[in-house]
């Protein structure tokens, strides 16, 4: 704490912005809770304000965690609009100046010590307002290639926080001087899973390898249908816990009923895995999942062998880029395009299950990309930048 004295700690006032998706919202929340815990050690409590859009996930998360929230109006510029979205771009173009004005008023009234943004179009007005009022401003990028909002804001940020070393090459050369690789904050609970509890939660046998299959909180129809075709051939080799989402839950329950009786007990399908997720992750020998930023951060922090099936239409093709990067480093198996079939999924999983040395090497390679201390690193950067106070911003890159 040498860079940030006790008196400054007691006066820390921070605006956090970012949202629209869980990939932007949850790293912000994890950072906020880590900051609160860090300052609580000194008897200090930060003054926080979360700025987002009224109907965004960030509004719900802020309310749930008792973080003051202020909504602003903003627009979203779609990079490859169809005719319908082109009209929405025109409408949103007129909303953006109003959002910037609201953001400027918010920063002027709040007078924060520091501003943190985690991406999404809602972060642009606050980032620009921070620059206008010479407030220290940090942006965090979760993906390997920078999102559109962060490409704009990187030019005005005091500090650019990256999740991947490989992201540095996506920044203009002048901006790299202000960049530091922190990793993507991972919820502390994910790092504290208990494997024994994970097996027990679903009545499974700890002596048989467990495969966790998930398409995220809402499920992924592509992954669900790939697994449905591969199930009969997989279950002689492993047990499977499957988070399938609500859309395909009935379909996957029917697939479970059609399994041979001697194998049916090895398959557990649920629409959503609740608080037991960290324990199931700890128990899993292999994870099959999308390659979103949050999922990849958790899998690498835990050093999990994984089969990644990127969402084919993710913004900027970021999921495919991330999955390919990890696969090239031996840190995951990637199934994409013509390879995303039940047969290839069966082959990928059984290959890992029958080759413990390869699975261990993959786990080690994944862990080399993981940063379980990412939240602490981000908080350290916040405190360091805030300690320097107001002043002229560094030249834009």
Q: How far apart are alpha carbons 150 and 121 in whole angstroms? A: 9
- Predicted pLDDT of residue 390: 56
284: how many CB neighbours lie within 10 A of its CB? 27
Say how many domains are in the chain.
2
Q: Are 296 and 178 members of one domain?
A: no
* Co-location of 122 and 134 in the same domain: yes
State mean pLDDT over 298-308: 98
Is 394 domain-assigned?
Answer: no
Model pLDDT for residues 73-87, shown as the tens digit of each residue: 876 554 555 555 554
Residues 180 and 258 in one domain: no
Tokens of 353: 């299950």
Query: Over 50: is that where the pLDDT of 296 sits?
Result: yes
Would residue 242 count as lying in a domain? yes
pLDDT at 217: 76
Residue 74 near residue 124 (C-beta atoms within 8 A): yes
| Predicted pLDDT at 1 | 42
**Residues forming a β-bridge with 117:** 17, 139
The predicted structure's pLDDT at residue 21:
84
Are 168 and 209 members of one domain? no
Together in a domain, 21 and 112: yes
> What is the per-residue pLDDT for 391?
43
Query: Within a domain: residue 238?
Result: yes
Under DSSP, is residue 395 helix (H, G, I), strand (E, B) or coil? coil
- CA dist 397 and 394 (Å) reads 9
Within this chain, do residues 381 and 331 fall inside the same structural domain, yes or no? no
1 is a domain residue: no
For 131-244, strand residue ranges (E) read 137-141, 159-162, 179-181, 210-214, 239-243
Tell me the C-alpha distance between 62 and 56, whole Å: 10
Cα distance between residue 127 and residue 129, in whole Å: 5
Query: 163 is in which domain, residue-wise?
Result: 6-186+373-387
Residues 294, 118: Cα–Cα separation, whole Å: 12
Using CA atoms, how far apart are residues 176 and 170, in angstroms rounded to an integer?
9
Q: 77 near 93, Cβ under 8 Å?
A: yes
Confidence of residue 187 (pLDDT cuts 50, 70, 90): very high
Burial class (CB in 10 A: 0-12, 13-18, 19+), 89: middle
> Phi and psi for 235 in degrees, rounded to 5?
-65, -25
| pLDDT at 249 (0 to 100) | 93
Do 192 and 128 have their domain in common?
no
Tell me if residue 276 falls in helix, strand or coil. coil
Res 77: pLDDT: 53
What is the pLDDT confidence band of residue 374, given thresholds at 50, 70 and 90? Answer: very high
Is residue 232 situated within a structural domain?
yes
226: nearest Cα among 215, 216, 218: 215
Q: What is the mean pLDDT of the segment spanning 98-108?
A: 93
- Residue 368's CB is within 10 A of a number of other CB atoms, namely 12
Q: Is the pLDDT of residue 291 over 70?
A: yes
Do the bridges between strand 13-17 and strand 159-162 make them parallel or antiparallel, or are there none, so unpaired? unpaired
> What are the helix and strand counts (H, E) for the chain?
17, 13
- How high is the pLDDT of residue 317? 87
Residue 80: the pLDDT is 52
Q: Residue 343: its pLDDT value, please? A: 97
Decide if pLDDT at 393 tops 50.
no
In what side-by-side order are the strands of the sheet with 267-270?
A: 267-270, 239-243, 210-214, 286-289, 305-308, 333-334
- 256-285 pLDDT, tens digit each: 999 999 999 999 999 999 999 999 999 999
| In contact, 139 and 119? CB cutoff 8 Å | yes
Judge if 146 and 242 occupy the same domain. Answer: no
Angle at 314 between CA 143 and CA 170, to 5 degrees: 35
Closest CA to 267 of 306, 295, 299, 228: 228
C-alpha distances (whole Å) from 290 to each of 54, 320, 321, 322 are: 28, 9, 12, 10
Q: Are 144 and 289 contained in the same domain?
A: no
Interatomic CA distance for residues 274 and 164, integer angstroms: 28
Indicate the DSSP class of residue 341: S
Q: Is residue 306 part of a domain?
A: yes
pLDDT in tens, 193-246: 999 999 999 999 999 999 999 998 778 999 999 999 999 999 999 999 999 998
Distance CA 119, CA 96 (A): 16
> Is 393 a domain residue?
no
Residues 255 and 137 in one domain: no
Banded pLDDT at 3 (limits 50, 70, 90) = very low
CATH code for the domain in which residue 216 is found = 3.40.50.2000
In terms of domains, do 361 and 215 share one? yes
Residue 334 pLDDT > 60? yes
Within a domain: 364: yes
- In this prediction the pTM is 0.89
The answer to whether residues 350 and 225 belong to one domain is yes
Dump the DSSP string for 120-148: STTHHHHHHHHHHTT--EEEEE-SSSPPH
In the predicted model, what is the mean pLDDT of residues 24-43? 95
Burial (CB < 10 A; 0-12, 13-18, 19+), residue 98, is: middle
């Amino acid at each position: 704490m040498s860079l940030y004295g006790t008196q400054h700690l007691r006066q820390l006032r921070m605006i956090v912005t970012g949202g629209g998706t869980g990939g932007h919202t949850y790293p912000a929340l994890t950072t906020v809770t880590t900051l609160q815990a860090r300052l609580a050690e000194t008897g200090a409590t930060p003054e926080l304000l979360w700025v987002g859009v009224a109907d965004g996930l960030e509004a719900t998360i802020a309310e749930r965690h008792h973080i003051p929230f202020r909504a602003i109006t903003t627009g979203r510029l779609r990079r490859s609009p169809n005719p319908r979205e082109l009209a929405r771009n025109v409408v949103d173009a007129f909303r953006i100046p109003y959002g910037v004005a609201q953001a400027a008023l918010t920063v002027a009234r709040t007078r924060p010590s520091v501003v943190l943004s985690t991406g999404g179009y809602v972060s642009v007005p606050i980032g620009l307002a921070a620059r206008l009022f010479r407030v220290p401003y940090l942006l965090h990028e979760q993906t390997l290639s920078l999102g559109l909002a962060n490409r704009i804001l990187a030019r005005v940020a005091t500090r650019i926080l990256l999740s991947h070393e490989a992201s540095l090459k996506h920044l203009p050369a002048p901006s790299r001087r202000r960049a530091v690789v922190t990793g993507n904050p991972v919820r502390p609970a994910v790092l504290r899973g208990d494997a024994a509890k994970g097996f027990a939660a679903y009545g499974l046998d700890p002596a048989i390898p467990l495969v966790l299959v998930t398409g995220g909180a809402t499920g992924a129809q592509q992954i669900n249908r790939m697994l449905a075709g591969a199930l009969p051939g997989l279950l002689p080799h492993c047990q499977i816990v499957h988070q399938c989402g609500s859309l395909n839950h009935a379909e996957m329950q029917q697939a479970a009923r059609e399994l041979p009786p001697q194998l049916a007990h090895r398959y557990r399908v649920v629409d959503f895995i609740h608080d037991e997720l960290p324990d199931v992750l700890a128990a899993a020998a292999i994870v099959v999942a999308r390659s979103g930023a949050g999922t990849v951060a958790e899998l690498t922090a835990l050093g999990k062998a994984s089969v990644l099936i990127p969402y084919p239409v993710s913004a900027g093709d970021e999921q495919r880029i991330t999955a390919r990067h990890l696969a090239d480093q031996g840190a995951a198996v990637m199934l994409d395009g013509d390879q995303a079939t039940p047969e290839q999924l069966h082959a990928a999983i059984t290959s890992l299950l029958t080759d413990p040395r390869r699975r261990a090497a993959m786990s080690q390679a994944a862990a080399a990309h993981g940063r379980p201390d990412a939240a602490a690193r981000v908080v350290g950067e916040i405190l360091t930048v805030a300690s320097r106070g107001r002043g002229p911003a560094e030249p834009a890159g």
